[in-house]
Amino acid sequence: MRIALIGAGLTTVGAAEILIRRRAEVVIVEQDKERIEALVDTLDCGFIHGDGSKPAVLREVGPQHTDVLCCFTDNDQSNILASLVGRSLGFRRIFTKIDDAEFQPICIELGLTDLIIPHLQAARALADLAFGTLPEDFAEFFKCGSRLFSLIVREEEVGPVEDLSLPKRCAAICVYRHDEMLLPKAGFALKLKDEVVVLAHEDSLPELRERWAVPPPSPAAEPE
């Protein structure tokens, strides 16, 4: 597996060390040349000096040869931009780190559903551990190709949850409406801008992403 990480902060370095131990091929993209020089002797991976939100730099990473792109800089806007550029260049899967949870609904509307929100995830993990509800390896929940996908209900999708016509091997398991979590049963009525969490097989993710991708803006009319 080949994984590219944008930004060489503590999260990236920690992830890179684990990935390298698991024999993944790792490439780190970093703007600060001195930071690269400080890490080059301690991490057995590739380095690219440059701005990871720039198309030319991400093309150098090699979208067609990379399994996962992780946008892990310390700037939320840079991570969102890099994720969108990476998606346009054809990276197979993209993780976007945001520190400000206010960006979460915007990311979801943009189709960036693989989000890393460190302080929220750490807090939830701590609370779950305290009550014994989190397994030692959370990944054990996701076996046999199962994945989670989140979508925002559009105007044409308002109505019974079964009318979403999800791909095969997919099921809506949870709906977030404002600050409330709802469990959708047959006949559950979806409302505009509800966030629907779907349990899906990984083979269905391309269709889900295509159907709920944000369309590009219409070109502005040229003045006569």
Q: What is the mean pLDDT of residues 163-181?
A: 91
- For 95-124, what is each residue's pLDDT tens digit? 999 999 899 999 988 989 899 998 887 787
33 membership: H or E segment, kind and range = helix 33-39
Q: Is residue 217 part of a domain?
A: no
pLDDT of residue 79: 96
Q: What is the mean pLDDT of residues 204-220?
A: 68
152 and 70 both lie in a single domain? no
Alpha carbons 49 and 6: distance in angstroms, whole number:
10
99 and 172 both lie in a single domain? no
Q: What is the mean pLDDT of residues 138-155?
A: 77
Contacts of 8 (CB under 8 A, 6+ apart): 28, 30, 32, 35, 36, 39
Q: Which of 89, 123, 157 is the last residue of a domain?
A: 123
pLDDT of residue 150: 86
Q: Is residue 129 part of a domain?
A: no
pLDDT of residue 138: 57
78 and 8 both lie in a single domain? yes
177 and 100 both lie in a single domain? no
Q: Is residue 206 part of a domain?
A: yes
H helix runs in 40-117, sequence order: 55-61, 76-89, 104-109
100 and 150 both lie in a single domain? no
Q: Are 201 and 145 in contact (CB under 8 A)?
A: yes
Q: Which of 123, 151, 174 is the last residue of a domain?
A: 123
Q: Is residue 39 part of a domain?
A: yes
CATH number, residue 73 = 3.40.50.720
6 and 110 both lie in a single domain? yes
Q: Would you say residue 219 has pLDDT above 60?
A: no
Tokens of 130: 């305290």
pLDDT of residue 60: 96
Highest mean pLDDT among 44-48, 123-127, 137-141, 145-149: 44-48
83 and 176 both lie in a single domain? no
- Look at residue 18 and give its three-state secondary structure: helix
CA distances in angstroms from 125 to 131, 139, 183, listed in the order given: 10, 13, 22
- Averaged pLDDT score across all residues of the chain: 87
93 and 147 both lie in a single domain? no
Structural domain range at position 18: 2-123
Backbone dihedral angles phi then psi of residue 124, each to the nearest 5 degrees:
-65, -40
pLDDT of residue 210: 85
Tokens of 98: 């945001």
pLDDT of residue 113: 87
Q: Is residue 126 very low, low, confident or very high in pLDDT (cuts 50, 70, 90)?
A: confident
Q: Is residue 172 part of a domain?
A: yes
143 and 119 both lie in a single domain? no
